[in-house]
Amino acid sequence: MKGFTKKLLLVLSMFLLILPIFSTTVEATTTTVSQQPEMNATAGMIFDENSGQVIYKQNADKKVAIGSITKIITLYLVTKAIREGKFTEEDKLTPTAQEAEMTQDSALTNVRLDADKQYSVKDLYNAAWIVSSNSAAMVLADEVAGSQAKFVKMMRQTLKDWGIKNAQLYNVSGLNNSDLKKGMYVGPKDGENKLSADDIGVVVKHVLDKYPEILKTTSQSKLSFPVDNEIKVYDSLNLLLKGGRDYQSGYEFDGLKTGTTEAAGDSFVGTLPLDNTRIVTIVLDAKGEKTDKDKRFRSTQKLVHYLKDNYEYKKVLDKGQNVKINNKKYKVYDSIYFWLPKKFNVAQLSYTRSSDDLGFAAKHKKQTVKLIVANTSGGYLPFKKADVKKVIHKKTNQKSWWDQIVEFFNHLF
């Protein structure tokens, strides 16, 4: 009996000794770090645009006012119309009297438009992206859809196709409806566009996946625009661009869009190439003094510094490597990279089949599937590709033109 008691005590002692080691191993299997960024905003996120991997998020599912971040959707649809040949960048457009009148209000605009002048699509497009001209966005929306109300319906359908639910979109500019004239909005008179950080992330991934050339416009730190028979130069509202007040060497932002209204506060969606991939930051309603016009950009910088200080973009799988999931082997087509906490052991990663359109391609037997990392702390964007609706040609009883001709002559005799 004494021998058994000694053995039992020995086993218990060994268990207590290895318990801390076991606990450490379990905690390390999740790709997270203890430090959190001091973003100081209502909501936000930082993610990898190529993979959809979310590194950090805060209140990402909360719907908040977005202001002129709305124009990312607006100008996506304008870009789509141009690429589809509905009009060209050289075409000339004329603003309505109301759209021109709005540009006389310094609180609502920064580029003047005149109702008796024509402007190229390219100039209006640049003005809407670079300095967030509301009236320029409206003129373009009118050209695409025939009216702003119809354009808003296009915006809503686009988000629905992308799997975004309960989006609140009432106008093409992002202003509060109370600042707009009749015909410039739909919905309540005080309606304000609202999306979540998750929603915006999905929007940005769709936009940059399909039209990465947009960055050629959003990376411009100056806008040249015709005013009173001369070219006037305006500074971009994105102060993180090279030459901007908040630019930092090594963090070469090339987009994307600011958003500012009373309800939205100071918000910003940024993007930059980093470590051979592309990063997107979202800061919604940055906190601080109202007169502090740099707070959204400082919050953005804190997100990218948090990423660089705590994570590394690391190869986790080699091309042709096998991944085992539930006793099934999947062969990876290409080398796979992932953002991991520094000193994280790659061998601790686990994988699973993707439930949406994100992930990397792998082959199981003759089937190609998509896989994702299963034990990432931030997860992935709730991303899906647009639904492709098949056009069904219904059969009708209408006679062909030849049958109608034969029947006509038959009736003559």
> Which residues make up each annotated binding site for substrate?
257
Q: Indicate if 293 belongs to the active site.
A: no
Rounded to 5 degrees, φ, ψ at 410 are -60, -35
Residue 132 among the catalytic residues: yes
DSSP symbols for 286-299: E-S-TT-TTHHHHH
**What is the Cα–Cα distance from 146 to 150, expressed in whole angstroms?**
7
Q: Which residue is listed with tokens 């996506």?
A: 76
Please check whether residue 258 is in contact with residue 187, taking contact to mean a CB–CB distance below 8 angstroms: no
Element (H, E) at 125: helix 121-130
The catalytic position among 23, 34, 62, 68 is: 68
Catalytic residue status for 236: no
Cβ atoms of 264 and 67 closer than 8 Å: yes
* Token pair of 98 as six digits: 């109301």
Q: Exactly one of 2, 7, 80, 132 is catalytic; which is it? A: 132
Nearest alpha carbon to residue 233 among 127, 109, 107, 108: 127
Catalytic member of 57, 71, 194, 205: 71
Report which of 179, 206, 191, 103 is spatially closest to residue 152, judged by C-alpha positions: 191
- No. of helices (H) and no. of strands (E), the chain: 10, 18
Beta bridge partners of 364: 367
Record the tokens describing residue 362, joined without a space.
């792998």
- CA–CA dist 44, 48 (Å, integer): 14
DSSP secondary structure string, 153-209?
HHHHHHHHHTT--S-B---SS-S-GGGS-TTS--S-TT---EE-HHHHHHHHHHHHH
Angle at 273 between CA 272 and CA 277, to 5 degrees: 130
CB atoms within 10 A of CB 130: 26
* 3-state SS class at 42: strand
Judge residue 397's burial from the number of C-beta atoms within 10 Å of its C-beta, 0-12 exposed, 13-18 middle, 19 or more buried: exposed
End-to-end C-alpha distance for the chain, whole angstroms: 121
Q: Catalytic residues, which ones? A: 68, 71, 132
